[in-house]
Amino acid sequence: MLTVEVIRAGQVLGWSIKDIAARDTKHREQVNPPARAVAILRGQLEEIEAKAAELNWMRAQLRDKLDWIEQGAHGAQPGFGQYGCRVAAPVSV
């Protein structure tokens, strides 16, 4: 049976319950040699680091937007471009 911690960690990474269960089953059924275990853990670490980078980007954008609003929303509003995101200019309706 999966523990709550395993399920929660998988959900944070964006994995479905089916993916979490499959990974857990594979882990429990196999005795991984150290080299294989290291490869698996490195892959999981890369996924977590990518998610962390996305969250840091989102946090910076939200903080700047909040500061802009709290200071009266004067001047140009913070845009995604200043965070390295290449998006088209907003379309006026």
26-42: pLDDT as tens digits? 777 766 677 877 887 79
**Alpha-carbon gap, residue 93 to 75, rounded angstroms:** 20
Which of 17-26, 32-41, 47-56, 71-80 is modeled with the greatest confidence? 47-56
State the pLDDT at residue 66: 93
What's the whole-model pTM score? 0.55
Rounded mean pLDDT, 7-21: 84
From the list 37, 24, 80, 32, the residue with the least C-alpha distance to 57 is: 80
**Alpha-carbon gap, residue 10 to 20, rounded angstroms:** 6
State the pLDDT at residue 64: 92
